Copies of this chain bind each other. A is one copy, B any other.
């Protein structure tokens, strides 16, 4: 038990009631007077020049109010989410001149209802000149392959290439070296809420956009640059968001911009809601990675050097790809201590649907490779794989070779705790036939530096009766940040969460915050909120100190009161303090919190720099049962121990960890977007299988409550990184169960049966 009133407590979500009763308003629920419905015409070919678009018949259809094509867009302008790297700009809301994947936006219609809009799409005639397409990133890099974007030679949108220490020397000194190749598949987020936007372009040339986004401020900023509009003329508001998982973290999705431009053209508000098929085929995909990893270790298992290469299929557009390709390389030494490393990663365009951010991006792929290989090395060296992990685990204060340091790390404690909980050694030695136990770890940033700044702010406006409003730009996308931020503010102020209203994610009225990505909200936004609450106390305490004849420094705010530390009776209610201060000092209490994590901009050449203020860690042990006849893998149990610092709300943290486990289960065993000549063949929940409640194994998680020195009340991020560990743990467990390595995800029955067959043949040959 800690000393806190709210931190570390299972506070129910502050929006639980409105969500449970259906009263919560999501973007799809936004209705404006005179609102039209928009639909998007998409390319049915993977690569083609647009020779001509004839929209006349569509425009004449009764009920159609506007048709938008590339001709309506700013000339010679593109955008990407990398504000400060114009060399990466590669996208437009609608295709101009050519289409690059099946699903590419070609034209859009706003009409009085969805059916008319849909019908109008059929009336738009697009004349294409088909171009050769390329779907394999290695082929795409071949000289002579069709180019998607002229400026990207060999279709490489970005190469991340960096090294630390002396890899060649270390490899020479290694007791054991091995090289393995791994592959990960295309998956997608499957958020329950599809991408959607409502835009209202007002006569005053100001546009308001309600978007299902993870970062309203990034959306506004990107649109502002693309349309050359001042930021005070663009208002982006987030409603309740039905899941994001990274899939709504691009700066600007075409639907946002298309809705805005259709509204400008039609003079009426426009709503666009993706169909589920559009959601599967045209939003974002987890990058398929092709990874070659060569690792050298000492005899005792100490990691000496890792030399790795990755090729990522980024599809038709960049999205977050250029950042992910670098981060995958950094994961190599983020997971374990390592001073000698070399990495080369290519982010490659193909005529597939665009890949982008997805919970654990790049890190998941690289960790799958590295942590499977860890078990292979352990076996070769005759070391218990958990001992091998323990030997190489980070500790608090470690400095990574890129000069980033780790303020707090309880990785060893996680490994020990979960091993003990699961009786790892005894149990693993005596597994039943077909049963296996495997482990994996995760290590992940708490916020990361991709933007030219990471300044965050929050305001707490205190009412006369001691209740308050928190204004924060942070974006609750269902993960519950409104609740955790309320806990942080209320803990600091010593009031109850009922006494605080949270207003979040509205570019016009809330302070700046880059939003939800890279597990930054609890740490970064949380610190800004805490600072605002501290500022409230700074304004409030002088009056209380005067009234009580006490020192300001002796005052505490707790349990609805402000009192002298150690003498709870010498004090007054928070409400009386506020009212007394207001009446006697005669100014309003208006807390302002500014926070910027102590990070530095990453050097995009060397990937050096302290890009995250803190790191979360964890270890999972997974037990599987593999059916030798069918190849079917049944995950029995996922047990983890996690270091996310001091959890703000254990119930929410556990919910996130359980979500991570289930999403990882799908990623490991079930999910894969199947492409055929650029066409996604399974764009529905019928064909693309995600785990349901019935598929969920027993999930057990322990939270180590080791406070991080810089996090608000010691908290760090944990919800994103925790998706990383289960995949290698499952692969390792499968190997432990049946002696088959499946090195490309997902681990399907077919691959296991093939492995078993190979093994049989090898055994027979031996």
Interface residues of A (CB under 8 A from B): 17-18, 21, 23, 31, 33, 202-204, 206, 221, 224, 230-233, 452-457, 459, 461, 463-465, 467-469, 471, 498-501, 503, 508-509, 511-512, 582-583, 586-588, 590, 592, 594-596
**Assembly CA distance A389 to B503 (angstroms):** 55
**Assembly CA distance A459 to B586 (angstroms):** 18
- Having A230-B467, A232-B499, one finds 16 other A-B pairs with CB under 8 Å, namely A17-B203, A18-B204, A23-B202, A23-B203, A23-B204, A224-B465, A231-B465, A232-B500, A233-B467, A233-B501, A455-B587, A457-B590, A459-B459, A459-B590, A512-B588, A590-B592
Q: Is the CB of A583 within 8 A of B499?
A: no
Copies of this protein, total:
2
The answer, among B455, B469, B508, for a CB contact under 8 Å with A586, is B455
The residue on B at minimum CB distance from A456 is B588
**Assembly CA distance A206 to B501 (angstroms):** 10
With A232-B499, A461-B511, A511-B461 known to touch, is A594 a contact of B583 (CB < 8 Å)? no
The 7 closest A-B pairs by CB, nearest first: A231-B463, A232-B467, A230-B467, A586-B596, A232-B501, A587-B594, A455-B588
With A230-B465, A232-B467, A588-B456 known to touch, is A203 a contact of B594 (CB < 8 Å)? no
Q: Is the CB of B588 within 8 A of A469?
A: no
**Assembly CA distance A455 to B463 (angstroms):** 12
11 A-B contacts (beta carbon < 8 Å): A230-B499, A454-B586, A455-B587, A457-B588, A457-B590, A461-B511, A464-B512, A501-B508, A509-B509, A511-B590, A512-B590
**Assembly CA distance A21 to B230 (angstroms):** 23
Q: Is the CB of A464 within 8 A of B221?
A: yes
**Assembly CA distance A500 to B232 (angstroms):** 7
Name the distance in Å between A83's Cβ and chain B's nearest Cβ.
9
With A31-B33, A459-B459 known to touch, is A511 a contact of B588 (CB < 8 Å)? yes
**Assembly CA distance A581 to B1 (angstroms):** 43
The residue on B at minimum CB distance from A600 is B586
Q: Is the CB of B453 within 8 A of A586?
A: yes
Chain B residues whose C-beta falls within 8 Å of the C-beta of A595 in the assembled complex: 587
With A461-B511, A464-B221, A508-B503 known to touch, is A17 a contact of B204 (CB < 8 Å)? yes
Name the distance in Å between A510's Cβ and chain B's nearest Cβ.
8
With A17-B204, A469-B509, A509-B509 known to touch, is A455 a contact of B582 (CB < 8 Å)? yes
The residue on B at minimum CB distance from A503 is B509
Chain B residues whose C-beta falls within 8 Å of the C-beta of A461 in the assembled complex: 509, 511-512
Name the distance in Å between A468's Cβ and chain B's nearest Cβ.
6
Q: Is the CB of A509 within 8 A of B586?
A: no
Q: Is the CB of B583 within 8 A of A588?
A: no
**Assembly CA distance A582 to B453 (angstroms):** 7
Name the distance in Å between A452's Cβ and chain B's nearest Cβ.
5
The answer, among B202, B231, B452, B590, for a CB contact under 8 Å with A594, is B590
The residue on B at minimum CB distance from A599 is B586
- Output the residue of A23, A231, A508 with the most chain B CB within 10 A: A231
Name the distance in Å between A238's Cβ and chain B's nearest Cβ.
15
**Assembly CA distance A592 to B592 (angstroms):** 8
Q: Is the CB of B202 within 8 A of A18?
A: yes
Name the distance in Å between A358's Cβ and chain B's nearest Cβ.
27
Q: Is the CB of A452 within 8 A of B583?
A: yes
Chain B residues whose C-beta falls within 8 Å of the C-beta of A33 in the assembled complex: 31
Q: Is the CB of A203 within 8 A of B453?
A: no
Name the distance in Å between A208's Cβ and chain B's nearest Cβ.
11
**Assembly CA distance A96 to B455 (angstroms):** 55
Chain B residues whose C-beta falls within 8 Å of the C-beta of A233 in the assembled complex: 467, 501
- Output the residue of A457, A588, A590 with the most chain B CB within 10 A: A588
The residue on B at minimum CB distance from A509 is B509
Chain B residues whose C-beta falls within 8 Å of the C-beta of A204 in the assembled complex: 17-18, 23
Chain B residues whose C-beta falls within 8 Å of the C-beta of A471 in the assembled complex: 509
Name the distance in Å between A88's Cβ and chain B's nearest Cβ.
18
Chain B residues whose C-beta falls within 8 Å of the C-beta of A202 in the assembled complex: 18, 23
Name the distance in Å between A439's Cβ and chain B's nearest Cβ.
39
Chain B residues whose C-beta falls within 8 Å of the C-beta of A498 in the assembled complex: 230
**Assembly CA distance A202 to B24 (angstroms):** 10
Chain B residues whose C-beta falls within 8 Å of the C-beta of A590 in the assembled complex: 457, 459, 511-512, 592, 594
Name the distance in Å between A173's Cβ and chain B's nearest Cβ.
42
**Assembly CA distance A502 to B453 (angstroms):** 26
The answer, among B203, B463, B511, B596, for a CB contact under 8 Å with A232, is B463
The residue on B at minimum CB distance from A232 is B467
The residue on B at minimum CB distance from A513 is B588
Name the distance in Å between A540's Cβ and chain B's nearest Cβ.
13
